[in-house]
Amino acid sequence: MSYYKYHVFFCCNQREAGEACCNNHGAQAMRAYAKEQVKALGLAGPAKVRVNQAGCLDRCSEGPVLVVYPEGIWYTYVDKDDIDEIIREHLVHGRIVERLRI
């Protein structure tokens, strides 16, 4: 069994001015928000959920992106409502959010 039930990586890469990157879409703030929500819901910790930032995940044109392991499900998002839906559906109920999947 894996150390975490779900390990969530947010691409928080910042590229040169003008180049597409996730951080141009508020990725750092969305990662912080997700981390706070996961803690508030009691989902954080060993055998539960871990939220981390990552460098470039090389899907810049689809950004912002995050990936949930162990399944390797990739998502894009626009705002906190999308993050809330990913947390509620995928991390709490184990259901993939098809409308945000890439």
Q: What is the pLDDT of residue 45?
A: 95
Q: What is the pLDDT of residue 20?
A: 84
Tell me if 42 is assigned to some domain.
yes
What is the Cα–Cα distance from 73 to 67, expressed in whole angstroms? 5
pLDDT tens for 53-63 read: 999 999 988 98
> Lowest-confidence range among 17-26, 55-64, 78-87, 89-98?
17-26
- Read off the pLDDT of each residue in 74-102 and give the average, rounded to a whole number: 98
Tell me if 64 is assigned to some domain.
yes
pLDDT tens for 7-49 read: 999 999 988 877 888 988 899 999 999 999 999 999 999 999 9
Tell me if 37 is assigned to some domain.
yes
Domain at 59, CATH number:
3.40.30.10
Tell me if 5 is assigned to some domain.
no
Count structural domains, the chain: 1
Q: What is the pLDDT of residue 32?
A: 98
Nearest to 62 by CA among 9, 90, 22, 10: 22
Tell me if 3 is assigned to some domain.
no
If pLDDT is split at 50, 70 and 90, which confidence band does 1 have? low
Tell me if 2 is assigned to some domain.
no
If pLDDT is split at 50, 70 and 90, which confidence band does 83 have? very high
Question: Domain containing 96: what range?
Answer: 11-100
Classify residue 62 by burial, with Cβ atoms within 10 Å: 0-12, 13-18, 19+: middle
**Number of other CB atoms surrounding residue 46 within 10 Å:** 8
